[in-house]
């Protein structure tokens, strides 16, 4: 009876999300440990249906938020505009978790919420009327990106929304170190891996830095580059004449872990990131990180890897050639410990729930 009494007395909370990604599932599990969660997925099957989905959200929100005092929205977007309006009208607290896309603009490749005129308006309204923003890294609030000459220098919500007064609390992503193991006996010298999906699209290749890898690979014939996540025919033909590049489709975690354990280096050369899970999981597997000088990545890597200051195949090849063939076990352990000791799942859960509890 005591168990049922505790369940019945837990506060209710509305959780709005665009999809059930692994990141969303994690935060949902944290919320469910303390709240009776009313789940609401904002799904738009086709772009043309967006007005209809927004209308349904507008009509249904007062009912689905009944007996709810707090609303948590995963990421900013069209799906947070109506909740921002109703929360203000109905005196409910709105908390928005910022993940990356929802705080940047790279108009040269059409990426980022603030690169789209209408989404920019929706997000600006949402952020101005929210009670708390929870970015996964401070760079999503305000930062500069000088990695490429063509990229917009200023990034972050305060760059795009001058005078924004909504309070924020930065809460890093967190990881279970025992879910990803390293095995130094498997590590092979001069092997590098990156993980990215949707690479049949040119803008995805540019966004994730895969274009730079394909440009650099011929300069380093003694290195093997593995790209995991897309083995589509439209992407395959781009690498068929680069013999030291191998492609794999998306893999289950057990197989992915084995690939990472054999790789000496992990490459994350993105133009924009929030707090990249793949990078952190690769470091837990003992990969030496080589990352672009963008957003959270220099802080994640710290002194355990290499920071590429400029998008340049020449600069990248110089960095790769500076990595010893027999990169020490100590270096791999340091990369793993950087994540295991500083970005834990328990820490994110504790800070996440505390921020919501106290708003």
pLDDT tens string 225-264:
999 999 888 898 889 899 999 999 999 999 999 999 999 9
Tell me the C-alpha distance between 69 and 11, whole Å: 8
* pLDDT on residue 152: 64
- CA–CA gap between residue 20 and residue 350 (Å, rounded): 21
pLDDT at site 1: 47
In the chain, which residues have pLDDT < 70? 1-8, 150-152, 326-327
First-residue to last-residue Cα distance in the chain: 31
Q: What's the CATH number where 156 sits? A: 3.40.50.2000
Residues contacting 24, CB < 8 A, separation 6+: 17, 74
> 307, 288 in Cβ contact below 8 A?
no
Residue that has been written with the tokens 């789940």 in this structure: 39
Expressed as residue numbers, the domain containing 105 is 2-174+345-358
Residue 232 backbone zone (phi > 0: left; psi -120 to 50: alpha; other: beta): beta
- Is the domain of 147 the same as that of 216? no
| Burial class for 333, CB neighbours closer than 10 Å (0-12, 13-18, 19+) | middle
Residue 222 DSSP one-character state? T
- Same domain assignment for residues 243 and 296: yes
* Same domain flag for 111 and 235: no
Nearest to 340 by CA among 169, 194, 136, 182: 182
Report the phi/psi class of residue 342: left, alpha or beta, with left for phi > 0 and alpha for psi in -120 to 50.
alpha
**Residues 335 and 283 sit within 8 Å (Cβ to Cβ):** yes
Phi-psi region of 100 (alpha: psi -120 to 50; beta: other; left: phi over 0): left
Neighbours of 290 (CB within 10 A): 22
170 and 204 both lie in a single domain: no
Q: Do 34 and 119 lie in a common domain?
A: yes
Q: Report pLDDT for 145.
A: 86
- The pLDDT tens digits of the residues spanning 179-215 come to 999 998 998 999 999 999 999 999 999 999 999 999 9
Beta bridge partners of 155: 143
Judge whether 118 and 54 are in contact, CB under 8 Å. no
Q: Is residue 218 domain-shared with residue 137, that is, in the same domain?
A: no
95 three-class SS: strand
**Number of independent structural domains in the chain:** 2
| Claim to verify: residue 35 and residue 130 sit in the same structural domain | yes
State residue 8's pLDDT score.
Answer: 57
Residues 255 and 135 in one domain: no
Quickly count: other Cβ atoms within 10 Å of residue 268's Cβ: 26
Do 67 and 100 lie in one domain? The reply is: yes
Q: Mean pLDDT for the chain? A: 94
Rounded distance between C-alpha atoms, residue 263 and residue 246, angstroms: 13
Q: Let me know whether 25 and 85 are in one domain.
A: yes
Same domain, 33 and 169: yes
> Are 85 and 129 within 8 A, CB to CB?
yes
Domain check: are 145 and 236 in the same one? no
What sign does the CA torsion over 12, 17, 19, 22 have? negative
């Amino acid at each position: 009876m005591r168990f049922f009494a505790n369940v019945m007395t837990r506060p209710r909370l509305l959780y709005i999300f665009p999809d059930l990604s692994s990141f969303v599932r994690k935060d949902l599990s944290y919320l469910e440990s303390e709240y009776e969660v009313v789940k609401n997925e904002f799904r738009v099957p086709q772009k043309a249906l967006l007005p209809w989905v927004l209308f349904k959200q507008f009509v249904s929100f007062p009912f689905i938020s009944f007996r709810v005092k707090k609303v948590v929205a995963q990421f900013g977007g069209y799906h947070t505009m109506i909740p921002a309006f109703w929360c203000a009208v109905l005196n409910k607290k709105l908390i928005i978790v910022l993940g990356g896309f929802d705080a940047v603009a790279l108009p040269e490749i059409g990426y980022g919420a603030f690169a789209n005129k209408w989404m920019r308006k929706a997000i600006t309204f949402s952020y101005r009327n929210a009670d708390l923003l929870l970015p996964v890294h401070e760079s999503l609030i305000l930062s500069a990106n000088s990695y490429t000459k063509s990229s917009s220098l200023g990034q972050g919500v305060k760059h795009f929304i001058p005078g924004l007064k909504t309070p924020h609390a930065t809460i890093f992503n967190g990881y279970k170190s025992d879910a990803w193991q390293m095995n130094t006996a498997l590590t092979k010298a001069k092997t590098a891996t990156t993980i990215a999906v949707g690479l049949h699209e040119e803008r995805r290749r540019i966004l994730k830095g895969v274009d730079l890898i394909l440009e650099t690979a011929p300069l380093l014939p003694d290195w093997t580059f593995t790209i995991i996540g897309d083995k589509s025919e439209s992407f395959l033909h781009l690498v068929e004449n680069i013999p030291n590049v191998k492609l794999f489709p998306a893999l289950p975690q057990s197989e992915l872990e084995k690939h990472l354990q054999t790789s000496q280096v992990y490459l994350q050369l993105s133009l924009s990131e929030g707090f990249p899970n793949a990078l952190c999981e690769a470091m837990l597997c003992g990969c030496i990180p080589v990352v672009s000088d963008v957003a959270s990545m220099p802080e994640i890597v710290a002194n355990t890897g290499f920071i590429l200051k400029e998008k340049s195949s020449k600069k990248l090849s110089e960095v790769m050639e500076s990595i010893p063939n027999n990169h020490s076990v100590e270096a791999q352990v340091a990369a793993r410990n950087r994540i295991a000791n500083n970005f834990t799942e328990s820490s994110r859960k504790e800070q996440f729930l505390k921020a919501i509890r106290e708003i």
